[in-house]
């Protein structure tokens, strides 16, 4: 992984807060307020990157974004986050092709652990 994270969340303060945390962890963060804006900014699969997306957003939600990326055969690791999680939502995220699921409120250690696990799985491929 190049250290670049695409962060998608329609909640500006939440997105900016997580972006700050990720930046302090040494990542370069590209922020998008919607899945549609992320998709319109991509010409090719960001193969060396990681994507973190909120699940519940107006328009294209995180689960549908994940499905669309997997339909394109993109293998970019995806971490889906939600502040309103339950076991069904977490399972739906994984079934759609998410690499990991993270529940809000998250801690720095939780975010770091989720990223490390995803990167480790990618490295094992």
**Rounded-to-integer distance, Cα 109 and Cα 125, Å:** 25
119: Cβ contacts below 8 Å, ≥ 6 apart: 1, 50, 77
Digit-by-digit pLDDT tens for the chain (125 residues) are 567 999 999 999 999 999 999 999 999 999 999 999 999 998 888 778 999 999 999 999 999 999 999 999 998 999 999 988 778 888 899 999 999 999 888 888 989 998 988 888 776 66
pTM equals: 0.91
Q: Per the structure block, which two tokens stand in for 8?
A: 């998608």
- Give the residues across from 82 on adjacent strands: 103
């Amino acid at each position: 992984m190049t250290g670049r994270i695409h962060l998608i969340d329609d909640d500006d303060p939440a997105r900016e807060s997580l972006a700050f945390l990720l930046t302090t962890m040494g990542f370069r963060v590209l922020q998008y307020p919607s899945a549609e804006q992320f998709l319109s900014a991509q010409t090719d699969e960001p193969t060396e990157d990681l994507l973190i997306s909120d699940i519940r957003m107006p328009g294209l939600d995180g689960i549908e974004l994940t499905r669309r990326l997997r339909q394109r055969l993109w293998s970019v690791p995806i971490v889906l986050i939600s502040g309103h999680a339950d076991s069904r939502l977490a399972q739906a995220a994984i079934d759609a092709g998410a690499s990991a699921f993270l529940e809000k409120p998250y801690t720095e250690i939780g975010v770091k652990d989720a990223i490390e696990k995803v990167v480790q799985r990618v490295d094992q491929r």
